[in-house]
Amino acid sequence: MKKFVALSALSCLGVFGCAEESAPSAPEGLVEIPGGFGKGDNYVATNAKEFIIKGRVTTSLPQGYADLTSEEQEAQLSELLGARTGDVTRSAQRKIEEIIRNSNQNITEEDKKFFIYVKPAYQGGEVGENTIEGETVSWDLHLEFVGSLDLLAAINEAEGGLALKLEVSQLGEAYKDVEVVIEESPSTDSFPSYSELFKDGVYDIAIHFGGDYNEGRYDLETAKWTVEFLLENNWQHETVTSFEDLKHDSGPFVFPLTVEGREVEGRVYVYHAQMDNDAEAEQSLLRDLVEESFKSRDIVIYSGHAGSNAGFILDYHPRYEFDDDEFKDVEMRQDYQVYVFDGCNSYRTYVDKLMENPARTFDNTDAVTTVNTTPFSAGYEVINRFVHWFTFTDATGRHFPISWNTMLQGINDEFPDVHYGVHGVDNGPKLNPHTDAGPQCLPCQSNEDCGAGGNYCMNYAGGGACSVGCTTSEACGSGFECIQVFDDPDLFYIPKQCVATGSTCG
């Protein structure tokens, strides 16, 4: 579910805009290289990480297993491994939670440093290769969970290492002692695939506000605010001049953008739970609108009540839900899309269900989720990020490619207990998605000499040389490191740069 936290005078309005707002300009001329080099960012959330529990597990086969047919054996083995994997998962979770409780002693709930969320075994646990020997079966365990950035340090301090010794009685007396090891996920930050979003000359966002059971109808209030924001910031609409004019078939608000010398039309579609009533139509109209977005839009945002196995709760008068079990059966476009599941606990099931659709793979999908409960006011900031900062350009139309970690940093700073993260980054671009490493080290006198927005002219000892926007040092290649070159927090939108580790470039 969502909980409501009132914004003070809707403070995010001050940073929300696409037409008139301009961020502080990046410095002109050659950019100074900061001293010292460090390790790049890791994983896909700014205040949490995903971890992996690995281990080898053994248990006894069911009595009479050898006498079963091959099909019966396969069914029993699948059931057995699933059940025992669940037992190990719960044992590991209890052990980690005990460590967390001790580490969080004498810390208030608000300032709690450590947390974890472990998916149920049937969602987050993978049963690897299994081996049958006599009357036992052994298999590899691979379990994903999300937790605090410093979680491994707490485990290491408590256990003297990153191995956990578990006692899992369900495995049988001879096999109950299990040792598992915890590792960080190898995933790293990436850019959204901006070139894919803009390639057809249209950047379209569909925002679907789920229904609300609260008397204040915060869903309608947020939808109304969104319409007012768009109109106040010069997004154009032929028929809508106020929220009351908005109908299910009103079409998009539009705004012209220039991205890397190309004209791109921005389009925002806004849908809410009252539209079926306004049209005197069945509630299925709300689902039809979502299905059209799945099939057609670049970015699909759901903002509303959510939870494990919930899907899109599109109305509460009466309750009407587009269950996430049904995601796999609807038509979806085949190319790149971004999905934003902005509701409580959407990390738990939404992405797994989305990826069951044959059109979706992590080669063509990024999905933003939440670990904990979310306030309705978070929706304002989420919409800010995708309407404004995804399309931010300078006066010449050079687009600033903002990485996923940078995109989510502001939301996580504002709502630190929600833990917004993104799935799909492993296959995302790690270098400036508008270019490749080609401009690297080319002589330059200004940023414009370095091609696409997000590349900069750096001041080396031998003169100006181009750097390329990046998210990881590995993407930069040997002899380069991916570092933040501006300390000014107002310039957060400028990506890290591939900078030569020596005094000269090339």
Residue 24 scores a pLDDT above 90? no
Q: Dig out the tokens for 338 from the structure.
A: 């971004």
Give the mean model confidence (pLDDT) for residues 201-210. 94
Which helix (H) or strand (E) covers residue 123, if one does? helix 121-124
Residue 193 scores a pLDDT above 90? yes
In terms of phi and psi (left: phi > 0; alpha: psi -120 to 50; beta: otherwise), the region of 345 is left
Residue 6 scores a pLDDT above 70? no
pLDDT of residue 247: 95
Domains of the chain in start order, with CATH, are 29-42+430-506 (no CATH), 49-184 (3.30.70), 201-423 (3.40.50)
Tell me the CA end-to-end span of the chain in Å, nearest whole number. 54
Least confident of 6-15, 18-27, 138-147: 6-15
SS3 track for 401-444: CCCHHHHHHHHHHHCCCCCEEEECHHHCCCECCCCCCCCCCCEC
pLDDT of residue 106: 59
pLDDT of residue 124: 44
Residues 50-93 have pLDDT tens digits of: 888 899 999 999 999 999 999 999 999 989 998 998 899 889 88
Residue 371 scores a pLDDT above 90? no
Give the mean model confidence (pLDDT) for residues 414-438. 88
What is the share, in percent, of the chain residues with pLDDT greater than 90?
47
Give the mean model confidence (pLDDT) for residues 28-46. 47
Residues 140-184 have pLDDT tens digits of: 988 888 888 888 888 888 888 889 999 999 999 999 999 999 988
Q: Give residue 26's pLDDT band: very low, low, confident or very high (50, 70, 90).
A: low
Residues 301-319 have pLDDT tens digits of: 999 988 878 899 999 989 9
- Return the exposure string of 217-252: e unless at least 16 CB atoms fall within 10 Å of the residue's CB, then b: bbbbbbbbbbbebbbebebebeebeebeebebebeb
* Sign of the dihedral through C-alpha 80, 86, 90, 92: positive
Residue 337 scores a pLDDT above 90? yes
C-alpha 140/C-alpha 193 separation (Å) is: 34
* Sign of the dihedral through C-alpha 160, 166, 167, 171: negative
C-alpha 138/C-alpha 135 separation (Å) is: 10
Beta bridge pairs of residue 469 = 497
Least confident of 41-45, 171-175, 423-427, 443-447: 41-45
Q: Give residue 254's pLDDT band: very low, low, confident or very high (50, 70, 90).
A: very high
Residue 497 scores a pLDDT above 90? yes
Least confident of 35-39, 206-210, 371-375: 35-39
| Of 6 and 361, more confident | 361
Place of tokens 């204040």: 216
Q: Give residue 33's pLDDT band: very low, low, confident or very high (50, 70, 90).
A: low
State how beta strands 337-342 and 312-316 pair: unpaired
pLDDT of residue 407: 87
Residues 90-121 have pLDDT tens digits of: 898 889 888 888 877 755 555 556 677 766 54
Residue among 120, 118, 125, 121 at smallest CA distance from 146: 118
pLDDT of residue 17: 27
Residue 423 scores a pLDDT above 60? yes
| Contact between residue 482 and residue 497 where contact means Cβ atoms under 8 Å apart | yes
pLDDT of residue 470: 95
Residue 4 scores a pLDDT above 70? no
**The CA-based dihedral angle spanning residues 227, 230, 232, 238, taken in that order and rounded to the nearest 10 degrees:** -80
Residue 16 scores a pLDDT above 80? no
pLDDT of residue 176: 92
Most confident of 115-129, 141-155, 234-248, 433-447: 234-248
pLDDT of residue 300: 96
Give the mean model confidence (pLDDT) for residues 355-379. 88
| Of 344 and 396, more confident | 344
Q: Give residue 9's pLDDT band: very low, low, confident or very high (50, 70, 90).
A: very low
| Of 251 and 27, more confident | 251
Mean pLDDT of the chain: 84
DSSP string, 87-122: HHHHHHHHHHHHHHHHHTTT--STT----EEE--HH
